[in-house]
């Protein structure tokens, strides 16, 4: 890529900027000109992502070795396309996929695309922290027992908040049933590089692990990895599924950045992660000393956790996470994820000691100014098992393709949802296509909106919800 970028000549191919010659001054001011020289199409020297035989194959092999896989695919459409493809590669129409109800919306897209039927497992939910922590192997075991024909199990580990399920035990269970374990490890591509981080999904025995290299490593946004090991998954079908879910023109900026991120981790991963852990531990220690703040320790709740995720409960200051986020952002301190009662910060290898100083001083100022306890109602506990069980009436695909109407919110309870409604981030759907709409789910969404959160749905103000037309459902 470097050689192709440096070469002089006349080009007559995509992209239309022809190595930056055509860009406007404004465009150049923002990005510089150099990056355009590397924004190239599949030139003969640059291989092809969908039939790799040259530099891409070599880069993917190096990534497999660095991350501990047998084979690795570079992804240019985020973990999203990898999760969708992993589901399509393992489950066909009408076949069952066991997954936790707090899966990312990309897993729901995978169900719609494949036509697979979800068997939802309730994750362990912390009422105290109002978050799902992970799935217990026992919950997977009973789902496997109740659904012996299931074709795969998908687990999200780590969660957005860094809490990890016991993947080793879960892999043993799925393999005893002869089916693969797919791990959405979007937030854990760094795990393989330091022993003080949780065990990686591949090391625990997962068949497929999908990682967003852009989330915590230094790849460009959208650049991700799909790793595979063992013989449980048909690799040709996986490769074909990846073609269905990705652009036919994958960006070489993304692919090149994946190779660079891999090289950095392969050569300096241990020392970079040691520094990152030290920064995260200092932030945790110093924030724990401030009055009225609580710092999440998922390990004290029985789950392995990634210490580079820092979750700070601000409800003791009388603030919502959204309000605290606004104030901190105005001071130049920007969190990854604000929620009703807490804020989550990602501490990555890109952070420096000065960032941690600024974070601590921002919180010190908040603590000096605010101290009354938060009287905000808790988010409706939409992930508890009573909320979860058997509210699905149609498969996500059936509901997606069924005739729909926009139902006013006050008449929506009891209808079958025809869309994915998701507070974002973290992108964990509150309502899924095919589920009966419960009052608790609407209350949760409304509370999130009132507190300043954002929804992805057909009506972001939630005046209406897309539902399956009642006439379509009742004859069944």
Residues binding ligand PLP (CB under 6 A): 78-80, 83, 104, 106, 156, 160, 184, 186, 212, 224, 426-427
Edge-first strand order for the sheet with 342-346 is 294-295, 309-313, 342-346, 337-338
Whose Cβ is closer to ligand PLP: residue 170's or residue 436's?
170
Q: Give the whole-angstrom CA distance, residue 257 versus residue 391.
A: 42
Whose Cβ is closer to ligand PLP: residue 211's or residue 379's?
211
Ramachandran class of 318: left when φ > 0, alpha when ψ lies in -120 to 50, beta otherwise: left
Three-state DSSP at 21 gives: coil
Please give the structure tokens belonging to residue 107. 């897993």
Q: What residue number has its CB nearest to ligand PLP?
A: 78
Give the burial string for 27-40 (b: 16+ CB within 10 Å, else e). Answer: eeeeeeeeebbbbb
> What minimum distance in Å lies between the beta carbon of 290 and ligand PLP?
28
Neighbouring CB atoms inside 10 A of 367's CB total 17
> What minimum distance in Å lies between the beta carbon of 74 and ligand PLP?
13
> What minimum distance in Å lies between the beta carbon of 178 and ligand PLP?
26
Placement of tokens 């605010």 in the chain: 370
Whose Cβ is closer to ligand PLP: residue 74's or residue 160's?
160
Whose Cβ is closer to ligand PLP: residue 97's or residue 436's?
97
Whose Cβ is closer to ligand PLP: residue 78's or residue 123's?
78
The answer to whether the peptide bond before residue 426 is cis (omega within 30 degrees of 0) is yes
> What minimum distance in Å lies between the beta carbon of 184 and ligand PLP?
5
> What minimum distance in Å lies between the beta carbon of 211 and ligand PLP?
9
> What minimum distance in Å lies between the beta carbon of 87 and ligand PLP?
12
Q: Which run of H or of E encompasses 359?
A: helix 353-369
Whose Cβ is closer to ligand PLP: residue 130's or residue 212's?
212
Whose CA is closest to 82, among 253, 215, 173? 215
> What minimum distance in Å lies between the beta carbon of 346 and ligand PLP?
11
Using DSSP bridges, classify how beta strands 96-100 and 152-156 pair: parallel, antiparallel or unpaired.
parallel
Spatial CB neighbours of 451, under 8 Å, sequence gap ≥ 6: 320, 321, 322, 340, 376
Whose Cβ is closer to ligand PLP: residue 427's or residue 440's?
427
Neighbouring CB atoms inside 10 A of 85's CB total 29
């Amino acid at each position: 890529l470097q050689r192709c970028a440096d070469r002089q000549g006349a080009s007559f191919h995509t992209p239309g900027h022809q190595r930056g010659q055509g860009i406007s001054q404004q465009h150049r001011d923002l990005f510089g000109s150099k990056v355009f020289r590397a924004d190239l199409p599949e030139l003969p020297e640059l291989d092809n992502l969908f039939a790799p035989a040259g530099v891409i194959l070599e880069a993917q092999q190096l990534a497999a070795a660095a991350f501990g896989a047998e084979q690795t695919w570079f992804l240019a459409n985020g973990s999203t396309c990898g999760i969708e493809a992993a589901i399509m590669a393992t489950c066909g129409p009408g076949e069952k996929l066991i997954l936790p109800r707090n899966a990312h919306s990309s897993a729901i897209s995978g169900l719609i695309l494949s036509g697979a039927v979800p068997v939802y497992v309730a994750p362990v939910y912390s009422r105290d922290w109002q978050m799902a922590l992970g799935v217990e192997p026992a919950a997977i075991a009973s789902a496997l027992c109740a659904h012996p024909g299931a074709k795969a199990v998908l687990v999200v580990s780590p969660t957005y908040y860094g809490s990890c399920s016991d993947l080793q035990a879960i892999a043993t269970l799925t393999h005893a049933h002869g089916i693969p374990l797919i791990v959405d490890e979007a937030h854990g591509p760094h795990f393989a590089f330091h022993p003080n981080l949780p065990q990686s999904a591949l090391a625990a025995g997962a068949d497929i692990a999908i990682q967003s290299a852009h989330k915590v490593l230094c790849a460009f946004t959208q650049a991700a990895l799909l790793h595979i090991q063992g013989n449980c998954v048909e690799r040709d079908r996986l490769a074909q599924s990846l073609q269905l879910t990705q652009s036919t023109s994958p960006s070489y900026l993304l692919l090149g950045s994946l190779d660079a991120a891999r090289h950095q981790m392969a050569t300096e991963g241990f020392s970079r992660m040691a520094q990152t852990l030290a920064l995260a531990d200092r932030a945790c220690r110093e924030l724990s000393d401030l009055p009225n703040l609580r710092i999440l320790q998922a390990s004290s709740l029985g789950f392995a956790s990634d210490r580079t995720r820092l979750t700070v409960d601000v409800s003791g200051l009388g603030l919502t996470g959204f309000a605290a986020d606004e104030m901190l952002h105005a001071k130049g301190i920007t969190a990854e994820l604000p929620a009703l009662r807490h804020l989550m910060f990602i501490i990555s290898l890109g952070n420096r000691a000065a960032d941690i100083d600024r974070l601590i001083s921002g919180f010190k100022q908040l603590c000096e100014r605010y101290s009354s306890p938060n009287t905000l109602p808790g988010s409706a506990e939409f992930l508890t098992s009573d909320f979860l069980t058997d509210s699905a009436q149609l498969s996500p695909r059936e509901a997606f393709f069924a005739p729909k109407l926009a139902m006013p919110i006050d008449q929506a309870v009891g209808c079958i949802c025809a869309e994915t409604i998701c507070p974002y981030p973290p992108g964990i759907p509150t309502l899924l296509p095919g589920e009966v709409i419960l009052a608790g789910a609407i209350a949760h969404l409304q509370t999130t909106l009132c507190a300043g959160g954002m929804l992805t749905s057909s009506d972001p103000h939630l005046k209406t919800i897309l539902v399956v037309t009642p006439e379509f459902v009742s004859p069944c």
